[in-house]
């Protein structure tokens, strides 16, 4: 499970990558004036990229800000009444779970990021004490590799207490790869039992193809095998 991530670049630092693949990108809204060191957390608005025509993603994509924590189209009550934890979608059941099966079939997305955060319990940890905070990133192979993408899903709901439609997203997690499943040297425990699915842009365009490989594209938790784990204490992050 991933419930915190970073995007430490502006839109203009990576949107040109789409043109290199001959994919037009249009931004549907203005970029927020947000500190680059402020992490994204559930219910925050964050950047989401989707196909203009889901039947032909290569014809063009649209970027916009949307709510992280998917609220499905069938929810009609107040926003606060949707209690299901839909920040992540399980790879194993993404095509059968009620909240995700229609977005999986029709509404896939890419969520750009530059690192993500996981927590574990340090040696001697006691309940109530802060957990250890880890940042997972990679050494970019080239300039186009500074940003990668979560395999996401989106939906639009009309909650009773929301002014207009609410577009929201989630992204897919699955069984862990070696980085997450190998016991830590100092604790003897793995970092986490789940791992978010990370794609390059080329892989991401394949994910957006509704008639493509779908969830089979996400079976490998570490397709590049080059994730880097380092401590990232909370005090290093922007808070305003």
What is the model's pLDDT at position 231? 87
Q: How confident is the model at residue 235 (pLDDT cuts 50, 70, 90)?
A: confident
What is the model's pLDDT at position 40? 97
What is the model's pLDDT at position 185? 87
Distance in angstroms between the alpha carbons of the first and the last residue of the chain? 25
The closest alpha carbon to 116, from 236, 226, 1, 25, belongs to 1
pLDDT, one tens digit per residue, over 17-76 is: 999 999 999 999 999 999 999 999 999 999 999 999 999 999 999 999 999 999 999 999
Let me know the angle formed at the C-alpha of 54 by 147 and 214, rounded to the nearest 5 degrees.
Answer: 70
Residues contacting residue 188 through CB under 8 Å, at least 6 positions apart: none
pLDDT, one tens digit per residue, over 182-205 is: 888 888 888 888 999 999 999 999
What is the model's pLDDT at position 226? 82
pTM of the model: 0.95
Top-level CATH class of 5-236?
alpha beta
For the chain, domain boundaries: 5-236
Q: Residue 30 burial by CB count (10 A; 0-12/13-18/19+): exposed, middle or buried? A: exposed
The span from the CA of 170 to the CA of 152, in Å, is: 6
Q: How confident is the model at residue 142 (pLDDT cuts 50, 70, 90)?
A: confident
What is the model's pLDDT at position 240? 54
pLDDT, one tens digit per residue, over 163-187 is: 899 999 999 999 998 888 988 888 8
Write down the mean pLDDT value for the chain.
Answer: 93
For tokens 């590799």, name the residue: 145
């Amino acid at each position: 499970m991933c419930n915190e991530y970073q995007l430490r670049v502006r839109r203009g630092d990576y949107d040109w990558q789409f043109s290199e693949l001959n994919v037009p990108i249009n931004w549907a809204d203005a970029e927020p004036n947000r500190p680059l060191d402020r992490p994204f957390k559930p219910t925050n608005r964050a950047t989401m990229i989707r196909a203009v025509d889901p039947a032909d993603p290569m014809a063009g994509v649209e970027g916009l800000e949307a709510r992280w924590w998917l609220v499905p189209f069938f929810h009609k009550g107040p926003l606060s009444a949707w209690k299901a934890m839909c920040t992540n979608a399980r790879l194993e059941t993404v095509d059968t779970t009620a909240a995700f099966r229609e977005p999986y079939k029709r509404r896939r997305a890419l969520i750009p990021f530059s690192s993500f955060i996981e927590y574990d319990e340090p040696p001697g940890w006691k309940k109530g004490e802060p957990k250890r905070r880890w940042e997972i990133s990679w050494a970019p192979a080239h300039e186009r590799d500074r940003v990668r993408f979560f395999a996401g899903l989106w939906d639009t709901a009309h909650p009773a207490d929301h002014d207009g439609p609410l577009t929201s997203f989630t992204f897919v997690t699955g069984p862990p790869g070696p980085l997450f499943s190998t016991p830590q040297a100092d604790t003897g425990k793995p970092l986490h039992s789940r791992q978010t699915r990370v794609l390059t842009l080329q892989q991401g365009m394949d994910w957006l193809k509704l008639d493509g490989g779908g969830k089979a594209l996400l079976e490998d938790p570490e397709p590049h095998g080059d994730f880097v784990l380092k401590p990232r204490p909370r005090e290093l992050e922007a808070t305003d």
